[in-house]
Chain A
Amino acid sequence: MTVKSPQTKDALSGKKTTARNIVEKIWESHVVRQNEGHPALFAIDLMLVHEVTSAQAFQEIEKRGINVADPTRVIATIDHSIPTRQNRTEIYDEAARAQVEALRNNCKRHGIRLLDFDGGQGIVHVVGPELGLTQPGMTIVCGDSHTSTHGAFGALAFGVGTSEVAHVLATGCLLQQSPKSMLVEFRGRFRKGVFAKDAVLKLIAELGIGGATGHVIEYTGESVRAMSMEERMTVCNMSIECGARAGLIAPDATTYAYLNGKEHAPTDENWDKAVAYWNSIQSDPGAPYDKRVIIDLDELRPMITWGTNPGQGAQLTETAGAGAAVADAGRDRALQYVKLENGQPLLGVAVDWAFVGSCTNGRIEDLRIAAQVLAGQKVHERVTFYVVPGSESVRTQAIAEGLDKVFENAGAQFRMPGCSLCLAMNDDKVPEGLRCISSSNRNFVGRQGPGSITHLASPATVAASAVAGCITSPESYFAK
Chain B
Amino acid sequence: MEPVKTINSQVLPIAMKDIDTDLIIPAQYLTSISRGGYGENLFRRLKDGDPNFAFNQPKYKGAQILVADDNFGCGSSREHAVWALRDAGIKAVISKSFADIFYNNSAKNGLLLVTLPAEVIDRILVEAAAAEVYVVNVDLAGQYIQLPGDERHCFTFDDFRKYCLLNGLDDIEYIRSYEQDVQAFRAKQQSYFQPVLA
- Using a CB–CB distance below 8 Å, which chain A residues touch chain B? 1-2, 32-33, 37-39, 41, 43, 45-46, 52-53, 55-56, 59-61, 64, 66, 70-75, 80-81, 93, 95-96, 98-99, 102, 113, 132-133, 135, 137-138, 143-145, 147, 158-164, 166-167, 170-175, 177, 209-210, 213-214, 240, 243, 245, 264, 266, 270, 273, 277, 309, 329-330, 333, 423-425, 442, 444-447, 450
Contact = CB atoms under 8 A, between A and B. Distances in A.
Contacts of B105: 161-164
B101 A73 contact: no
Given A243-B74, A329-B15, 10 more contacts: A32-B182, A39-B160, A43-B185, A52-B31, A56-B34, A72-B195, A113-B197, A145-B77, A171-B172, A173-B175
Given A160-B101, A163-B108, A425-B30, A38 B195 contact: no
B26 A446 contact: yes
Nearest to A333: B16
Contact of A445 (B22, B101, B158, B181): B22
Contacts of A446: 22, 26, 45
B101 A159 contact: yes
A210 B70 contact: yes
A209 B77 contact: no
Contact of A444 (B75, B82, B158): B75
A53 B74 contact: no
Contacts of A147: 77
Given A41-B182, A173-B175, A424 B33 contact: no
B178 A444 contact: no
A450 B194 CA distance: 45
B122 interface: no
Interface of B: 15-18, 20, 22-23, 26-28, 30-35, 45, 70-71, 74-79, 82, 97, 99-101, 104-105, 108-109, 156, 158-161, 170-172, 174-176, 178-179, 181-182, 185-186, 189, 192-198
Given A73-B195, A309-B20, A424-B27, A210 B158 contact: no
Given A162-B79, A173-B182, A132 B174 contact: no
B31 A95 contact: yes
Contacts of B82: 161
A1 B159 contact: yes
Contact of A330 (B16, B26, B77, B185): B16
A376 B7 CA distance: 64
A245 B31 contact: no
Contacts of B18: 209-210, 309, 330
20 contacts: A41-B182, A45-B193, A46-B196, A53-B77, A66-B172, A70-B195, A93-B31, A143-B79, A158-B101, A159-B101, A160-B104, A161-B101, A162-B79, A163-B171, A167-B175, A210-B74, A425-B27, A425-B31, A444-B23, A450-B26
B2 to A, nearest CB: 15
Contact of B79 (A41, A161, A240): A161
For the complex of A and B, list the 3 residue pairs with the smallest distance between their C-beta atoms, beginning with the closest.
A161-B105, A95-B31, A163-B108
Contact of B28 (A66, A144, A424): A424
Contacts of B74: 209-210, 243, 309
Nearest to A137: B193
A132 B197 CA distance: 10
Given A163-B79, A309-B20, A213 B97 contact: yes
Main SS at interface, chain B? loop
B159 to A, nearest CB: 6
A213 B102 CA distance: 11
Most A C-beta atoms less than 10 A away, residue of B17, B99, B197:
B197
A172 B70 CA distance: 33
B22 A444 contact: yes
A270 B18 CA distance: 46
A39 B182 CA distance: 15
Contacts of A423: 22, 27
A110 B182 CA distance: 20
Contacts of A277: 192-193
Given A53-B77, A56-B35, A159-B101, A171 B22 contact: no
Contact of B160 (A38, A132, A171): A38
B23 to A, nearest CB: 6
B198 A72 contact: yes
A177 B32 CA distance: 31
A96 B100 CA distance: 28
A29 B158 CA distance: 24
B31 A43 contact: no
Given A162-B79, A214-B100, A96 B31 contact: yes
Contact of B33 (A98, A209, A266): A98
A2 B134 CA distance: 34
Given A32-B182, A445-B22, A213 B99 contact: yes
Contact of A1 (B22, B30, B160, B189): B160
B104 A43 contact: no
Contacts of A173: 175, 182
Contacts of B160: 1, 37-39, 175
Nearest to B101: A159
Contacts of B176: 66, 170-171
A240 B20 CA distance: 12
A60 B109 CA distance: 13
A145 B101 contact: yes
A55 B33 contact: yes
A258 B64 CA distance: 51
A162 B102 CA distance: 11
Given A72-B197, A99-B31, A159 B192 contact: no
